[in-house]
Amino acid sequence: MKTTLERGAGLLLPIYSLPSPYGIGTLGKSAYDFINFLVKAGQKYWQVLPVGPTSYGDSPYQSFSSFAGNPYFIDLDMLCDEGLLNKQDLDQIYWGYTPEYVDYDVIYKERYPILKKAFLASNHKDTKDYLKFCDDNKFWLEDYALFMAVKGHNEGADWLKWPEDIRTRQVKALNHYRELLKEDIDFWMFLQFKFFEQWEKLREYAKEKGILLIGDMPIYAALDSADVWVYHKFFQLDKDLVPKAVAGVPPDAFSEDGQLWGNPLYDWMALEEDDFSWWRKRIACAAALYDAVRIDHFIGVVRYFAVPYGEETAKNGKFFWGPGKKLIKALKEEVGDTKIIAEDLGVMIDEVKELKDSEGLPGMKIIEFAFDGGNDNDHLPVNYEQNCIVYGGTHDNETLQGYFSRRQDWPKQYVMEYMGLNEEQYKDIVPYIFRLAYSSVASVAIFQVQDVLGLGNEARTNEPSTSGNNWKWRLTEGRLTEHHSGWLNRLTWLFNRQ
């Protein structure tokens, strides 16, 4: 059955990038304001990055849980409105050096103590809503809360460095820590309750306004996660629970060492023997959050790259076949009305295209990739099929202004000839890229907010294979104006995307 997305346009903005006086974007007022902006701009879609709790490096693609929400995104003003926090206490906290970037060191230090105050002031534990939430999410909630509590008890150490009895989940140890860390476990469960409570309100508002949410699901779980600790039988680990091999991608034109992601690989045979139960629950949880789910690194479902554990680069990895259609069919049985999007970027092989096409999944096209090569380039708009999503660039790419300002010689001449631009027009190329994508047959066109604003690479979201300066850029209050909404709205009308 073909997955079709209604013709339209949308913007990509992570939750952490929303304006907020408290150092990081949240599910509060600014999220609702952004939805209102999307409506004024004639948009239909809001795409976010993964919303799970982030670990070392702050990447949303390395999370402590494939099911939990990020406590950083809990809106503090909403907790004040509930009487759980005092606004004056929030105003006295230093939340970072600038509103344009997230200071994760500050957020990590300040966020949890203030959330703990809200927890201690709350009487949620005996409410029907909380008890229902716990029952609905029992598959993962208590295990995740115990994982975080034990991690805190061990000063944040990776679970592979915990004492053997709890590392290997011996029953006596599990019972011991559940009793010892009871209040901490309750705290982590409270945070999830509040995250999902606020998320549901926001999603309902988006629905009322006609805005569809597109979420992003990392294909792999992080090694230091409740998923791997609890369900290690579904991963390629040795008898000491250490990975045999980890995920990555081979060397290419962009990286001579390849990319070493470090995530443990799935034991696909064990998952299949269990009818993909873990994956089924995972996609079902995502379907409860979003109207469409983008499966990151979809190519890995068909063929994955395995790098021996301990290698410093991805040069010595090898390819192996994944579950392919068996997994996708299982996932489609769980998603209901939620759509699945295939992030089919990377080195394409026939088997990936065959799976995507046979299951009717929309793939992705990137304008920044369109002008490398000849006129048969799949990312060139003239070659699009209708059932796809076109992006100016993804969160892993340069901003449009940053990218095209650096193109010289042949790529630049090709761009100008293809788009009918002169030298002067090329200097202000970003609006022309929007028109190129919007006018294409692609069912959906999505751009990063940074590109709406015409920003350079100082506003880049992520640069793969680097650390320290990623996942930080934030939209500041008032930066999106009526000029921007009017311009986008006119484009959606011109090219039938309203």
Residues marked as catalytic = 296, 343, 396
Pairing, β 318-321 against β 303-308: antiparallel
Pairing, β 259-264 against β 245-249: antiparallel
CA distance 391 to 378: 13
Structure tokens at 163: 């004492």
CA dihedral of residues 257, 244, 49, 210 (deg, nearest 10):
130
Residues 37-40: contacts with CB under 8 Å, at least 24 apart: 37/480, 37/485, 38/10, 38/11, 38/209, 38/211, 39/209, 39/210, 39/211, 40/482, 40/485, 40/486, 40/489
DSSP-based three-state secondary structure for 382: helix
Q: What 8-state DSSP symbol labels residue 260?
A: E
Reference 14, options 50, 41, 52; nearest CA is 50
In angstroms, the Cα distances linking 464 to 261, 348, 478 are 10, 19, 30
Q: What share of the chain is helix, strand, coil (3-state, %, to 5)?
A: 45, 15, 45
* Extended strands (E) in 419-494: 444-448
E strand or H helix that includes residue 215: strand 212-217
CA distance 401 to 417: 18
CA distance 442 to 285: 28
Count of Cβ atoms closer than 10 Å to residue 397 Cβ: 22
